[in-house]
Structure 1
Amino acid sequence: MDSRELVAKYPFLTKDYLEDILRNEKRDTCVMVEDYSVNRALGKGENFSSDILRIRIVYKRNHEIDRVQSYILKVALVTEGMAAMLEEYDVFHREIIFYKNILPKIEELLKMTNYQKKLAPSCHRININDPKHFVFEDLAQDGFKAANRKIGLDYRQLELLLEKVAKFHATTSFIYRQNKDIMKHHHYRNVNEEVHHFYTLFRNSMVVCAEMAETWPTTSPTIARKLYDLERTVISKACQVYTVDDSSFNVLNHGDLWVNNVMYKYEESGSPTEAILVDYAISYFGSPGIDLSFLLFTSSSNEVSTDDFDSLVQYYYKHLMEHLQCLGVSSQEVPTLLDIQMEVLRKGFIGVMYSTFLIPLRLIEDTANADLGNLLGSTEEAMHFRRQLFKHPKYQERMEYLLNYYDRKGFLD
């Protein structure tokens, strides 16, 4: 779609609407929008639950020369079937609650500890009526760039991200201690017994991975058999992961912590200097092992080893512990590194399950058919898309390596 078609699709995007957002942000009633355009900010295969658009605005303040401002618009899917399905998962409602109630408290506490960096993009407008949408700051204006999904995240990128995740986890754990009610909308389990829409995807991914594993030279037939067996148990195992143990250390998980939901700033040399998280739509209150396994198993580059996983969890723990202490949590209440490593083992199956189809999704070259319909559907087009998805040679390279690790850890049993 070109800019005119996108504006026609979302008729609320008027000059007056954008002028109001700009005036609120700039705190200047003299702002006048001269022109604006709308384009897609992401391609297919990079976001499956919403339209992500970039709005470029040319505006004036008083009699100054023209200035340019851009925003990111996130709009709930309006396709009838997909919209109804995502409504059941409550994704927009959870993100609204996060931005209205939780993020302001996180930012307040971070300032108290003299931490100045942001954990999430600023939100300039939330609309709870259809079409539900957010207007976010455009992080690209501040120098952030999307990570390379095809390569995955290298060791330094993972360190930078895990430092932010540790502060996010520590702060939300502290907030929960003060007010348990604030997380009441984030106890919805992302895999549960009531909502079945993604069951087929999870089961089929295990079967296709098993079929592929049978042909891979370093993968034993035993591992392939275990993957076939997981077709029957993958849902119950995932439901168990999303069951909170109140006696353990719990945090607000980002919930969708993979390469597509992180951006980086870079030095001129290309070295990353800062990470930031986006898309808090399926945040979930529970074990930090969910975020950690999800990230490490789905999004690490091929150069990141399974030994590196332990080192990265240790790096995360260092920042988690330091930030909890900054918030005044007593040493007796701070989890140990062993506690966190055990959480990755207890909850790591979720990373296993998602890695079977998110790794091929991030490797995909042709994204023309990459949408939820083809991931979940039963049409010939959908089935062909899924068959091609799992044939990428780099999928074999990474999954063959990971499957042996998963088996050693007992995740496949």
Structure 2
Amino acid sequence: MESDREVLRPSEITKERVEAALKADKGSEAKMVSFAVQELTKAGENFVTFVVRVNVKFSSENGDDVVSYAVKYDPRRCKAVKDFILACFHKELVFYQNIVHDIQAQLHEIGLKPLRVPKCFYTSLEEHREVIFLEDISKKGFKKSEFEDGLDVAHTTLILEELARLHAASYLLKAKIPDLAEKYPVLNLDWVTYADSARRNTQGLFGNIMDSASKLLRHIGGREVAVAWLEENKTRAAEIIEHELRREPPFDVLCHGDCWNNNVLFRYTDKGVPVEVILLDLQIVRLASLATDLNYVLHTSLEGHTRRENFTSFLAIYYERFTQVLSAGGSAVPFSLEDLTQEYRNHLVYGLIMCLMSVVFSLDWQEDASYSEGGAEFQDQRNKILIRAMADKPQIRDKFLFLIDEMIENGIMV
């Protein structure tokens, strides 16, 4: 839900920066008359940065007009993981400044439509004044899905097809740019590499998440094998994340990295049928197995029964669109649908851990809380809060238990 309420103008959003974005968008002849800042997202969204709408009145040779931009700023707002978020902000900035142009050029060269992401008109990495001005796609009729408990088949299909286009275009790019991370070193920044303290912080974050999950399971009762797995593996959480994000041909591609239902918008027909998706928040874009993106979206954004009942068709839909892009580029698909299915299963642990994170954060997200630090007493208190919260959120409890049962059935938690 959006808001029309004006807000205090952040120091990052200056007249000079708005003018620069306007001219990049509308041409050098466009002259800004005035601008105002208003809320764009509701409370609880956009954990890592602030996002506002900047409305601009301007004049040009065609007369007076208005335009709006979605502006991201203050990557330090989430103090608990500040260094990681700063790295992510840098990655997203480089994606919009450079990487996306390589992807779009590749798709254009083979006669396909551009990747569906917002246009970017201005960026700055000036310390303590970082900012990204993006196209305000809500003005084109894009909005969030109204499914609070999980996406349906139609919405998921659109996401999978667009992920396949991103992945396949980056695969084709290898003929020209064998290693995107060599050209864009920022892609090497990830959970265990973004700073000297990255491994310790990542271990703290995901170790605590796995500890909380085990305590939730103990409270619910049953599933002792899953409790034991979580207790045994929580001390090696960072190692697991690093292993899951390893690059192994032929599946290593440019991944979105954070593709879930909060980071996509849809355009609908008058009858409410979703017909187009646009990918947002490419702040964890990385080179990794395409199966990490698939596991991420299917485990964080769907109800368990939707994922189970449509799993085969979901991978077939993704594979078909991936194949179409490679065929247009004159390249053979380097793996079969069966290979893709196995690769997906090989990364189920990644889907598990990312879904556990979404469950824990959905139960108790506090912007200033340190999820990677704190002693045993702090963690115990937090776990008690999570247990109480789950009692009030049965849909999250169901999602959590379905996930655990799925991992037991697939031989992950043994």
TM-score, normalised by the number of residues in structure 2? 0.87
**Secondary structure, in 3 states, of the residue corresponding to 1:273?**
strand
Residue 269 of structure 1 aligns with an amino acid whose one-letter code is: K
Question: What's the counterpart of residue 366 of structure 2?
Answer: 370
Superposition pairs of residues 26-105 of structure 1, within 5 angstroms: 26-33=26-33, 35-62=34-61, 64=63, 66-79=64-77, 81=79, 84-86=82-84, 90-105=87-102
Quote the Cα distance in structure 2 between the aligned partners of 1:243 and 1:411: 18
Residue 198 (structure 1) aligned with residue 214 (structure 2): no
Question: What's the counterpart of residue 304 of structure 1?
Answer: 306
Residue 223 (structure 1) aligned with residue 220 (structure 2): no
For residue 272 of structure 2, the aligned residue among 270, 273, 286 is 270
Q: Is the 2:49–2:75 Cα contact (8 Å) retained in structure 1?
A: yes
Q: Is the 2:122–2:134 Cα contact (8 Å) retained in structure 1?
A: yes
Q: Deviations over 1:338-357 (max 9, x none)?
A: 22112212222111001012
Q: Is the 1:223–1:403 Cα contact (8 Å) retained in structure 2?
A: yes
Question: What's the counterpart of residue 217 of structure 2?
Answer: 213
Q: Deviations over 1:137-186 (max 9, x none)?
A: 00101111023463221111110110000010001111133212432322
> Number of residue pairs matched?
399
CA apart distance, 1:188:
3.3
Residue 340 (structure 1) aligned with residue 340 (structure 2): yes
Residue 408 (structure 1) aligned with residue 406 (structure 2): no
Q: Aligned residues: percent identity?
A: 22
* Alignment RMSD (CA, Å): 2.8
Q: Is the 1:238–1:350 Cα contact (8 Å) retained in structure 2?
A: yes
Quote the Cα distance in structure 2 between the aligned partners of 1:385 and 1:259: 25
Q: Residues 235 and 377 of structure 1: is their aligned pair in 2 closer, same or farther, counting only changes over 3 Å? A: closer
CA apart distance, 1:278:
0.7
Q: Which runs of 5+ in 2 are unaligned?
A: none
Q: Residues 69 and 389 of structure 1: is their aligned pair in 2 closer, same or farther, counting only changes over 3 Å? A: farther
Q: Is the 2:216–2:387 Cα contact (8 Å) retained in structure 1?
A: no
Q: Is the 2:108–2:114 Cα contact (8 Å) retained in structure 1?
A: no
CA apart distance, 1:204:
2.1
Quote the Cα distance in structure 2 between the aligned partners of 1:256 and 1:149: 19
Quote the Cα distance in structure 2 between the aligned partners of 1:80 and 1:261: 18
Q: Residues 77 and 149 of structure 1: is their aligned pair in 2 closer, same or farther, counting only changes over 3 Å? A: farther
Residue 346 of structure 1 aligns with an amino acid whose one-letter code is: N
Q: Is the 1:214–1:224 Cα contact (8 Å) retained in structure 2?
A: yes
CA apart distance, 1:47:
1.8
CA apart distance, 1:79:
4.6
Quote the Cα distance in structure 2 between the aligned partners of 1:301 and 1:244: 29
CA apart distance, 1:256:
0.8
Q: Residues 380 and 213 of structure 1: is their aligned pair in 2 closer, same or farther, counting only changes over 3 Å? A: closer
CA apart distance, 1:187:
3.2
Q: Which runs of 5+ in 1 are unaligned?
A: none
Quote the Cα distance in structure 2 between the aligned partners of 1:381 and 1:410: 29
**Secondary structure, in 3 states, of the residue corresponding to 2:175?**
helix
Quote the Cα distance in structure 1 between the aligned partners of 2:41 and 2:388: 22
**Secondary structure, in 3 states, of the residue corresponding to 2:174?**
helix
Residue 209 of structure 2 aligns with an amino acid whose one-letter code is: S
Residue 341 of structure 1 aligns with an amino acid whose one-letter code is: T
Quote the Cα distance in structure 2 between the aligned partners of 1:83 and 1:302: 29
Q: Is the 2:206–2:372 Cα contact (8 Å) retained in structure 1?
A: no
Question: What's the counterpart of residue 244 of structure 1?
Answer: 247
Q: Deviations over 1:91-147 (max 9, x none)?
A: 122222222222112112222333325421000001121222110000101111023
Question: What's the counterpart of residue 395 of structure 2?
Answer: 394
